[in-house]
Amino acid sequence: MRVPGHAQTCVQAISCRSIGYRWQRTRFRGIRSRPLALSEKEVVATVAVLDEKISDLFDQVVARNPGEAEFHQAVREVFDSLGPVLAKHPHYADAGIIRRLTEPERQIIFRVPWMDDQGQVQVNRGFRVEFNSALGPYKGGLRFHPSVYLGVIKFLGFEQIFKNSLTGLPIGGGKGGADFDPKGRSDGEIMRFCQSFMTELYRHIGEHTDVPAGDIGVGGREIGYLFGQYKRITNRYESGVLTGKGLAWGGSQVRTEATGYGVVFFVRDMLAAVDDKLDGKTVVVSGSGNVAIYAIEKIQQLGGRVIACSDSSGYVVDEAGIDLELLKEIKNVKRGRIGDYAEGRSSARFVTDGSLWNVPTDIAIPCATQNELNGADAAQLVKNGVRIVAEGANMPCTPEAVRIFHDAGVRFAPGKAANAGGVATSALEMQQNASRDSWTFGYTEERLSEIMSSIHDLCLHTADEYGAAGNYVTGANIAGFIKVADAMLALGLI
């Protein structure tokens, strides 16, 4: 039976009007300081009309997608930034771009039957949401987790549109997965599930159509089984159909490290923008999977000190700095729990109650899952003097948490910008596959660093242009939106 984990981790999203939500007109005022064809009165009137139009559009999204709280939350977060764009470029609204963007081009739901080690037939539900292909083939990961349902996949796919747009690479947005829990399953069970999943998915993907990758519950092992089944069914060695592959069979250097490294490169640039650096800063990282581990690795390489990390059983605090090799051995080799770290490290303590975000730190990087950091956590971080929060996971901060950070002047980087390193390196893997080439680790990491710096600068520049200086959320949403919207206009009404 699927555990409705999404009901526990998400913030219920309802219509703007029913909760008295007011779009942030302070952001809209920023457009008044720049030369416009409109007069002051016309600007105010335009903003008021747009305010109502955006609210109506959001109500329509909620009505058309009932019960999908995560999707509602993701859409509202983007809508919150679009008022000044539509005031300056009304042709986007005239062409129905926003309505088209919030409706996936294709939603695929399918049965995944498989046999467990006891010979019992199990049935799961698989999903692939091909959200938007204006910039290129659909691109986005596959998530295997019991909390997966259509609303989660749509939220992730919607975010992927803007994240992929920000990279500057020719990739559209999509996402997929299944409500299958790989935890506690044997290697044979996981292989049989992956083979059954791909037996349906194969007909919908291709290197020029839709290119899945990994996500929570889908690592190198699962990608291998999926690719093997695709090759068997199609009789084609189509390397570019999946990314996150092993190095021996079409994978890319730095792909495993990419999301974790990328978020740290983004933090590095956030600090550089205010003439600061990571060296000597304390950092708290949630999670202890690939994203968290490689974020910790890059933080340490740049001189930062990670003092806490976590998993679903609790968190460890190590003021001496997390011993990365010990953490890797526990999580990647022994497949152990984070509590094992404290048993092997005298300077560490393991905590099973309370919040990881109670630990005082300069920088917080949530890398676990959506809505893990709530308003109370944000208030505690602010009280303890946090300076930067960067999302390593997809939408790990609730709307209330984001508001608290902004109100307190904490520099906040949204996931669609800060964790784009994973999909950027996936696109680099696609380039290597297309040219039958293989790049060195150093060259690939350099490309990743350049892409993350470009995203950072684009977010800052766009935020400043639209009257929200220093607001990475507004900058990311507007910059990502404009590129996709312009492509959609150029391609016609399709």
- Residue 163 is assigned to a ligand binding site: yes
Q: State yes or no: is 175 an active-site residue.
A: yes
- Residue 60 is assigned to a ligand binding site: no
For 102, the token pair is: 């919030």
- The Cα 300–Cα 323 span in angstroms is 10
Letter string b/e over residues 82-98, b meaning 16 or more CB atoms within 10 A of that residue's CB = bbbbbbbbeebbeeebb
- Residue 139 is assigned to a ligand binding site: yes
- Residue 160 is assigned to a ligand binding site: yes
User: What string of DSSP letters covers 7-71?
Assistant: HHHSPPP--TTTTT----HHHHHGGGGS--SS-HHHHHHHHHHHHHHHHHHHHHHHHHSTT-HHH
- The Cα 459–Cα 397 span in angstroms is 19
For 75, the token pair is: 């859409």
For 326, the token pair is: 């010990």
- The Cα 373–Cα 355 span in angstroms is 9
Residue 307, phi then psi, degrees to nearest 5: -110, -5
- Residue 480 is assigned to a ligand binding site: no
For 118, the token pair is: 């006891």
- The Cα 252–Cα 432 span in angstroms is 8
Out of 175, 245, 298, 416, which one is annotated catalytic?
Answer: 175
Distances (CA, A) of 7 to 12, 148, 251: 8, 11, 36
Q: Cβ(11)–Cβ(401) under 8 Å? A: no
For 490, the token pair is: 């150029």
List, in order, residues 6 or more apart from 356 with CB less than 8 Å away: 284, 286, 308, 309, 310, 315
Helical H runs in 356-467? 375-383, 399-407, 415-418, 421-434, 441-465
For 235, the token pair is: 């009789």
| Cα dihedral: 196, 200, 203, 207 (round 10) | -50
User: What string of DSSP letters covers 175-207?
Assistant: EEEES---TT--HHHHHHHHHHHHHHHGGG-BT
- The Cα 330–Cα 332 span in angstroms is 6
Please tell me what DSSP assigns to residue 172. E
Annotated binding-site positions for substrate: 139, 160, 163, 214, 426
Annotated binding-site positions: 139, 160, 163, 214, 259, 290, 426
Annotated binding-site positions for NAD(+): 259, 290
Catalytic residue numbers, as ranges: 175
